[in-house]
């Protein structure tokens, strides 16, 4: 159970332990507090408890004490975010505050990069509404719907989208 072997420094230790995560998450929530897109998503008036949860999660994730799970159980982060509408806009605001918070830590480049790449990946995985602001199905008139081809929003993901079908042409479904 000893995680502090001399030849193995956790990322948590390398960035400066608890103090670094306190600073990181405090700075992040200072940004959220003034953000008109993100602030309304947070159910509690006091952002303090949310700040603590994110801090404990990140500390645990990066190899520090496992207090998060002791208090909250398994993280299941995607599931815990489903009550909140998170689209590309929310994700990008979240990431902008996180970028500013990481900048403030002034870490060695390799640590900065690792932390940032994780945040970018994690934030993308938290998105729970379709790209392009939920316009996948458009009601054209009350008796038919028009569905955009699947290829348009899939840029770079999964590969092989598009094929020979001209996916851009809407598929018209008559409801008559």
Interacting residues with ligand HEM (CB under 6 A): 38, 41-44, 50, 53-54, 57, 72, 77, 80-81, 84, 86, 90-91, 94, 122-123, 126
Least distance to ligand HEM, CB of residue 114, Å? 13
Nearest to 127 by CA among 160, 153, 147, 161: 153
CA dihedral 57, 59, 65, 67 (to 10 degrees): -30
Q: Min. distance of Cβ 127 from ligand HEM in angstroms?
A: 6
* Cβ-based nearer residue to ligand HEM, 13 or 118: 118
Q: For residue 102, what are the contacts with CB-CB under 8 A and spacing of at least 6?
A: 24, 112, 115, 116, 119
Instruction: Starting at the earlier edge strand, list the strands of the sheet with 144-147.
Output: 137-141, 144-147, 171-174
Nearer to ligand HEM, 42 or 116 (CB): 42
Nearer to ligand HEM, 50 or 154 (CB): 50
Report in angstroms how near the CB of residue 65 gets to ligand HEM at its nearest: 15
Chain mean position to CA 22 = 19
Closest CB to ligand HEM among residues 95, 145? 95
Using the minimum distance from each CB to ligand HEM, give the nearer residue, 8 or 26.
Answer: 26
Q: How many residues does the chain have?
A: 176
Q: How far is the CB of 77 from ligand HEM (least distance, A)?
A: 5
Q: Provide the minimum distance between the beta carbon of 157 and ligand HEM in the complex, in angstroms, as a whole number.
A: 17
Q: Give, in degrees to the nearest 5, the angle at Cα 61 between 60 and 67.
A: 15
């Amino acid at each position: 159970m000893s995680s502090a072997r001399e030849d193995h420094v956790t990322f948590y230790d390398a960035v400066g332990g608890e103090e670094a995560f306190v600073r990181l998450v405090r700075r992040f929530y200072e940004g959220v507090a003034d953000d008109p897109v993100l602030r309304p998503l947070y159910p509690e008036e006091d952002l303090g408890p949310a700040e603590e949860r994110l801090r404990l999660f990140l500390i645990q994730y990066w190899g520090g004490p496992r207090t998060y799970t002791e208090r909250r159980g398994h993280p299941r982060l995607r599931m815990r975010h489903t009550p909140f509408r998170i689209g590309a806009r929310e994700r990008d605001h979240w990431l902008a505050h996180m970028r500013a918070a990481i900048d403030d830590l002034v870490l060695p480049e390799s640590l900065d990069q690792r932390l940032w790449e994780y945040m970018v990946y994690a934030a993308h995985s938290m998105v729970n509404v379709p790209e392009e602001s939920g316009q996948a199905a458009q009601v054209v008139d009350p008796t038919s719907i028009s569905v955009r081809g699947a290829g348009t929003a899939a840029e770079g993901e999964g590969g092989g989208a598009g094929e020979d079908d001209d996916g851009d042409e809407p598929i018209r479904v008559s409801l008559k």
